[in-house]
Structure 1
Amino acid sequence: MNDKLRITPQAQADVIALTGIDRARAHSWINTHVRKADRVSSNAYQYENYLFYTERPGERTKIVRVKRVGNTQVGANPTQRSTDSDGNVVIDGITIRKHAIDRAVERFGVPRERAAQWIYDRFRESSVVTENIRSLTNEGHVYATEGIAIGVDTDRKMIRTVYYNTKKFSPLISDKVREVVAKEIRKLERKINAINRTLPLQKAALEYERAERMLALVSTRSIPKKMALQARINAIDTHLGEINAGLADLVEKKKHVANALIAI
């Protein structure tokens, strides 16, 4: 095999999500394991229960995706399944919420009696798209496989919903587009992380100043001074709102970019 093995950022993100290893080790992990893998299709190689997908059929020079397949060995543990009183189904430690089951029936036409297993199987073959996506009520990660998006909880042990994106890319350009979109997600994540690192101190300083101005406002009898203090308080409130709105805007952009990646 060519020693100059190239590994895409998406493949590294897949491995991080599947194994939990550090980002710095993902490249070497793939490099080590793919060299031990056996070819199982024109553009896929398997080592143990991991599939490594190449950019071009028959050429193991560029790894573009990594997925995990189910354990099919003789004597493997049988699937453990249970259902709680709320209609949530637990399969091998993964909870599929009733909401996700309802969405699989409504959006994908899956028979209700098979919906939980269908969602579980799609999750097992999926790869991470983006992590730490927030909404008004939830925070979690998005996985996807073949245009099917799977919303999971932060601990990756609960599947909350499934949905799809109808936009599709040509196979000839999908890998290139995927790299560009994944790069954009990482850029947004860096911006969000930078804001989150400085936000507590910045907000604390503004709130401290606001408290000082409020104290001065209720203490003074001077009308001109009251007006000046109130103007500063209003400016601080506006600035705090702009900071929060800026962060929310970046998070929303990350969601939209993640949806583009799901469609590829």
Structure 2
Amino acid sequence: MRSGLRKVLLENVSKIKEVYEPSVPNKETERPFVVIEQVADTENNQATIGSERKINIWIYNDRTSFQELDILQKEIINAINFKSIEDGDTKNYFACIYKGVSSSDISDVEWDIIARPISFSIIALEKLDNKTSDKEVEVVSSYLENILKNKNGVTINVFKDNWNQNLTTPCVLCRTTKTERTIKANNLIEIDKTMKIHVVDMDNDRVIQILEHIENKLISDRKIVYKSDGNTLKLTLSKLIEDRDSDMLTLGQISVTFRNYASIKKNINPINKIYDNKGLKIKKGN
């Protein structure tokens, strides 16, 4: 993670001289420089997706004006916020999400230095492709792609099951969280599938617009009908709950339940031989 961040920061924030681990710099270190401090990992609950950890990026500069820190902070955020970054050591991908300034600015007279810590969440981007074996997720994702196509001239990518290494914003993720099956008759199963829909963007107003557009379309359409290879799958909306304050990357803001029905396939073997109560084979025609 550190090697990936170091590479991106040095390539995109020209004023930064170097990126260090916490124990390396001293009062003679050339400024401005950055220190990456890892905070305790977050223990995700079962409802979340992707592993998450917290970091602070400390910006250090000469003790002149805090306006210089403002400029560096903005450039760092622009360089890494919601960007897909490759770790040069592990070859894994991750994204950084800006969470604000984690504490007050610091002024150190002895080192003649000022510093500011800015906080980020790190989300692992674990999926190599955008395929899914979940047919309902495939259907709902196709539906979302259709209703979001060229919305206001903006391309909105729809991801399936998990975050992809090609993460770009704005984007949407669709994943299944729970499936319930109820036998309604001898050969009929009622299937309730609950999914989470994540809407991710740096522009909060646009996030709200996309959320409302998805919800209004789902409520007005009520059914998603998908036909493939002569088979028809009908998903009927049965419940929709929105939580705009929910974390967009790890939890998702929309919880939606679809209902559909499937028949139970029974293998019926024909009776070739019939025996009486004495175990004797009954001849055909008797």
Q: Which TM-score tier does this pair reach, normalised by the shorter chain?
A: under 0.3
| Normalised TM-score (structure 2) | 0.22
Scaled by the length of structure 1, the TM-score of the pair is 0.23
| Greater percentage in helix | 1
Question: Which protein has the larger Cα radius of gyration, Structure 1 or Structure 2?
Answer: 2
Ranked by relative contact order (alpha carbons within 8 Å, sequence separation 6 or more), the top structure is 1
More strand by share: 2
